[in-house]
Structure 1
Amino acid sequence: MTRDDRQHPPAPPDTSGGVRASYDAVAAQYAARLGDELGHKALDRGLLHAFLDLTSGGPIADLGCGPGHITRYLAARHPDVTGIDVSPHMIDIARAAAPDVTFTVATLLDLPAVDGAFDGLVALYSIIHLTDADRNAAFHEFARTLRPGGWLLLAFHTDAPGFPSGTANHLTTLFDTAVDLTFRFLTPDTVVDGLATAGFTIAATTIRQPVPTEYPSRRCYLLAQRHQ
């Protein structure tokens, strides 16, 4: 599924250095603290099952897979799953936990796949560090690598105490470790508009309150289909 650069323009400049270094630094703590999160998130599991029911059984990818816990959940229920993340240390942890699953280091702006390679894409909270321009570029990359009619399940934070939609929270420490991460709280309409411009139709929108075991933000899930 390697991308043929002779048929595509160069990828946008890689602006993910701070994100990569930050998640490399906290990879072990992240996996230890969040690796079992699906166990107490029934809605997330239900949406993942709905997403799998909609895909045709062809290749799917988990974008921004982190330590691979969502990828493993999908791979236990689907025959062809790839996890993709910008952090090499996260990918190392993911590969160690699931050596039979494919994991790849890459950015959302330059996915290592040919046009129409995937039947479905999952991107749970992986767009929250992107600038507006990079987020819209990523949406076009999602559309490029999805087959016509393919499905996208996307999740992001909408707001949290002290952080209304459209604002950002810059962290210099996470899990008692120095990081350089900006978490963006996105307005659903803004994300929907960006997806529409990239060639997606929204099939379902779900907004939920936080569960007690997670960061106290409201979350939005969008199930979108690439135009036929």
Structure 2
Amino acid sequence: MTNPTLRDEQAGAHLDAIRQSYDTVAADYARFVKDPGALDPVSRAVLTAFAESVTASGLGPTADVGCGPGKVTAFLTGLGVSAFGIDLSPRMIDLARAAHPELRFEVGSMTALESGDGELGGVLAFYSTHHLPPTELPSVYQEFHRVLAPGGHLLLVTRVGEEEHQRRTYGYGDGDPAPFDSYRLPADRIAGLLERAGFAITAQTLQAPEEGAKRPVAGFLARKPATAKAP
């Protein structure tokens, strides 16, 4: 059996590495990442469907976890969502606040969200969970479930694969080298983990890789049932 203290230390070291890498590449990343309005039609449609679901529910604000420079948070706000952003990287949050001073952005981790139980109407994880080792996903999904109000909505979008682990040592643009670990799981495994965390999946998309990309993209629209109990 794994020692819980050792497991917590390993998770902390992993989060520190992610934070340091994104602090290093933050400025290049902000230039590199597309504005949501320039995304492909399916991605825009999924974001719009999520926005309509959370605004119709009227249950509370939406957390954009792993918000980066805040472009998607701002896009959701433009669709009428009361959204705020959370990111592990202080440098990313600095850029988000500078670009969108009217919005709320906080440094934080999706592994331990500061929102109270049932406080949120929506949680968005848009290409922000793939750096987590698969062993950490169940607890993260349970954390999403915890902060959502009964009837609240989750949108998770990520690249998928066949139990793949990729490590690269460069970031974005011509900035300093920064290591990144990425994990690609099968879509059905992610769906199963979400269901075990207590979510009901309401829609699922699977997009073929864009030109130059190597992995398809899966989107999961899910809901915390109105009569949900803690998983």
TM range (shorter): 0.7 to 0.9
Q: Which amino acid is the alignment partner of residue 193 of structure 1?
A: G
| 2:46 matched residue in structure 1 | 47
Distance 1:62 1:33, change over 3 A: same
Shift of 1:129: 0.7
For the Cα contact (< 8 Å) 1:35–1:67, is it kept in 2? no
* Distance (Å, rounded) in 2 between the aligned partners of 1:183 and 1:37: 22
Q: Say whether 1:201 aligns with 2:204.
A: no
Q: Say whether 1:152 aligns with 2:149.
A: no
| 1:4 matched residue in structure 2 | none
* Distance (Å, rounded) in 1 between the aligned partners of 2:72 and 2:113: 18
Distance 1:178 1:109, change over 3 A: same
In structure 1, stretches of 5+ residues that fail to align are 1-11, 160-164
Instruction: Write the mapping of 1:1-228 to structure 2, written as runs, cut at 5 A.
Output: 14=12, 15-36=14-35, 38-55=37-54, 56-57=57-58, 58-159=60-161, 165-175=162-172, 176=174, 177-212=176-211, 215-228=213-226
| 1:6 matched residue in structure 2 | none
State TM-score, norm by structure 2.
Answer: 0.87
For the Cα contact (< 8 Å) 1:156–1:186, is it kept in 2? no
Q: 170-179 or 16-25: which moved more?
A: 170-179
* Distance (Å, rounded) in 2 between the aligned partners of 1:101 and 1:37: 17
Shift of 1:178: 1.4
Shift of 1:35: 4.0
SS of equivalent to 1:179: coil
Q: 168-177 or 123-132: which moved more?
A: 168-177
* Distance (Å, rounded) in 1 between the aligned partners of 2:215 and 2:31: 21
- Which structure's residues are more often helix, by fraction? 2
* Distance (Å, rounded) in 2 between the aligned partners of 1:77 and 1:38: 11
Shift of 1:133: 2.3
* Distance (Å, rounded) in 2 between the aligned partners of 1:218 and 1:141: 26
State TM-score, norm by structure 1.
Answer: 0.88
Shift of 1:180: 2.0
Q: Which amino acid is the alignment partner of residue 120 of structure 1?
A: G
* Distance (Å, rounded) in 1 between the aligned partners of 2:213 and 2:21: 18
For the Cα contact (< 8 Å) 2:64–2:124, is it kept in 1? yes
For the Cα contact (< 8 Å) 2:62–2:81, is it kept in 1? no
Per-residue Cα deviation, 1:70-89 (whole angstroms, up to 9, x for no partner): 00101112252110110100
For the Cα contact (< 8 Å) 2:158–2:217, is it kept in 1? yes
Shift of 1:18: 0.6
Per-residue Cα deviation, 1:160-186 (whole angstroms, up to 9, x for no partner): xxxxx1111101112243112111111
For the Cα contact (< 8 Å) 2:63–2:84, is it kept in 1? yes
Shift of 1:38: 3.8
In structure 2, stretches of 5+ residues that fail to align are 1-7, 227-231
SS of equivalent to 1:72: helix
SS of equivalent to 2:177: strand
- Which structure's residues are more often strand, by fraction? 1
Per-residue Cα deviation, 1:126-149 (whole angstroms, up to 9, x for no partner): 110111221111101000000011
* Distance (Å, rounded) in 1 between the aligned partners of 2:110 and 2:136: 9
Shift of 1:40: 3.3
SS of equivalent to 1:18: helix
* Distance (Å, rounded) in 2 between the aligned partners of 1:16 and 1:224: 26
